Amino acid sequence: MSEVRVRIAPSPSGNLHIGTARTALFNYLFAKKNNGKFILRIEDTDAERTSQAYVDNIFDSLKALGLNWDEGPDVGGEYGPYTQSERFDIYPKYVQELLDKGFAYECFCTPEELEAEKEEATKNKQAYVYSKKCENLTEEEKAKLRAEGRKPAIRFNIAKAQKAFHDSSILEFDDLVKGKLHVDTNLIGDFVIMKSNGAPTYNYAVVIDDALMHITHVIRGEDHISNTYKQILIFEALGFEVPRFGHLGMILAPDRSKLSKRHGATAVSDFVEQGYLTEALLNFVALLGWAPSDGQEIKTVEEIAKDFRIGEISSSNSIFEYDKLKWMNSHYIKQIPIEQLKEMLKKYLTDYDLTTLSDAQYTRMVEITREPLTLLSDITNAVPYFFGGDNVEIEPEVQTGTIETELSQEVLRAFVEQGESWEWTEENLHEKLEKFRADFKEKGYKPKFTMWAIRGAVTGRLCGADMTAILAILGKEHSLNRAKKCIITANV
Ligand code: GLU
């Protein structure tokens, strides 16, 4: 068997979509599984809808995900993507071949004429199929139309190709994921393969590229099934080997509509910006349509690659459960080595003056706050009380419900008084606070309330990281000054 060659072929009309990342991953896994090659091709034939910023985003996002491609033009010592707009000189030759073989024809219809055809079909409640008005124009008629200044587009002749390679109008193929699929080609209109301005269309360029790049398996979303029939006929008409096709079910939002921005992030770069880890994103999208044989869902790409079989992909749609992704993300955050995590979190801590913390203090802060993080960005709201010196913002309900109670006031007075003489290390504070709580317990105070008074005054909140460690990081002066500020002195 020839070498397996697959590709991901995004159109740069937006940032890399999480669904495209899944398609890329499945192609990548299939290539790895078969010692094959994974190729990136930017499909930018539609100049109006594409932008270089999107190309860059796709490139960077795939790299960030680690879905590196195996070949491509040299760009500064690494593989660039193949880009259709840089290959425009390749496409006309095969259009000519299709024209010469009678599988394509020039179409002079104006947009207005085509619009009128469509309106007519709508009026008659029929699905629109091009009328083939230009199929049999004579050379004289064409010359006349040209003289009028009309420039022809080129259309592919579906019926001619179908007839040449198949016994009936039914076109069937064996999908790697969905099994046998077929269509009655009478329902497919002769579509444009080259626009009047010479630009190739998607359905045409994709075939030329897949053929010339020796793509053996085309794995993509099921929204392309209707395109696949058109593409198979072009492959056949040009005498190219037809690749195997596999169509993946769609990814739907939890409300079963198309996944869109109103449900949350959809672009890989947005997920990353919000603090999702690429490991979690890959693991999560792998499970959209595929299930590991051992039922163990947390898996690295290497582990998935060992277990992955294209034939086992579910043909149905998958639901994008943001909550599950969050759960996975929190799992992966827990695995990050501390030094790496310290670096990764900095981007979410720009509101704070990190220079007020020594490296040891910053390390400890990250150690004690990482546990509940679901997104890396959660760190922003988890740490304000480590900064601000003697000042901390106190939540209003903590002020009235906790700090201002008589019990808390007594605790705070004792804390300030005794704390002055404490050696302010985490170890010692641990011991001292234990004793402090026990003393208050003897007076009938619940240990929980004792600690709430201190936590409320020092952090402004009732929940948060380990209190002893917080006090140690803040230092004696700031901790006690915050407590002092909360002590209500009688107004005389
Ligand atoms: N360029 C197409 C798209 O972004 C994908 C083409 C393909 O995979 O054949 O939807």
Candidates 40, 82, 175, 206: which one to mutate for ligand 1, based on the most atoms within 8 Å of Cβ?
A: 206
* Per-residue pLDDT at 46: 85
Check pLDDT > 60 for residue 24: yes
Distance 263 CA to ligand 1 centre (A): 23
Mean per-residue pLDDT for 241-253?
A: 97
Distance 220 CA to ligand 1 centre (A): 7
130 by Cβ neighbours in 10 Å (0-12 / 13-18 / 19+) ranks as buried
Q: Does the Cβ of 243 fall within 6 Å of ligand 1?
A: no
Phi, psi of 193 (to 5 degrees): -105, -25
Candidates 202, 203, 210, 219: which one to mutate for ligand 1, based on the most atoms within 8 Å of Cβ?
A: 202
Residue of 93, 261, 443, 448 with catalytic role: 261
Q: Does the Cβ of 248 fall within 6 Å of ligand 1?
A: no
Distance 247 CA to ligand 1 centre (A): 12
Span 219-232, pLDDT tens digits: 999 999 999 999 99
* Ligand 1 nearest atom to the CA of residue 13, by list position: 4
Mean per-residue pLDDT for 267-273?
A: 97
Q: What confidence tier does 2 reach under pLDDT thresholds 50, 70, 90? A: confident
Estimate to the nearest angstrom the gap between the alpha carbon of 337 and the chain centroid: 24
- Distance in angstroms (rounded) separating the CA atoms of residues 186 and 166: 13
Is 261 designated active site? yes
pLDDT averaged over every residue in the chain = 96
Q: What confidence tier does 491 reach under pLDDT thresholds 50, 70, 90? A: low
* Ligand 1 nearest atom to the CA of residue 23, by list position: 8
Q: Which helix (H) or strand (E) holds 194?
A: strand 192-194
Mean per-residue pLDDT for 46-55?
A: 90
Span 3-18, pLDDT tens digits: 999 999 999 999 999 9
Check pLDDT > 80 for residue 309: yes
* Per-residue pLDDT at 48: 85
Q: Does the Cβ of 17 fall within 6 Å of ligand 1?
A: no
Q: Does the Cβ of 206 fall within 6 Å of ligand 1?
A: yes
Candidates 11, 82, 201, 209: which one to mutate for ligand 1, based on the most atoms within 8 Å of Cβ?
A: 11
* Per-residue pLDDT at 38: 97
* Per-residue pLDDT at 1: 63
* Ligand 1 nearest atom to the CA of residue 43, by list position: 1
Residue bearing the bigger pLDDT, 200 or 49: 200
Phi, psi of 333 (to 5 degrees): -60, -40
* Per-residue pLDDT at 492: 47
* Per-residue pLDDT at 49: 86
* Per-residue pLDDT at 472: 98
The share of the chain scoring above pLDDT 70, in percent, equals 99
Q: What would the two tokens of residue 395 be?
A: 């939540």
Check pLDDT > 90 for residue 398: yes
* Ligand 1 nearest atom to the CA of residue 202, by list position: 1
Q: What residue type is assigned to position 309 of the chain?
A: R
In 10 A of CB 60, how many CB atoms? 15
Q: Does the Cβ of 6 fall within 6 Å of ligand 1?
A: no
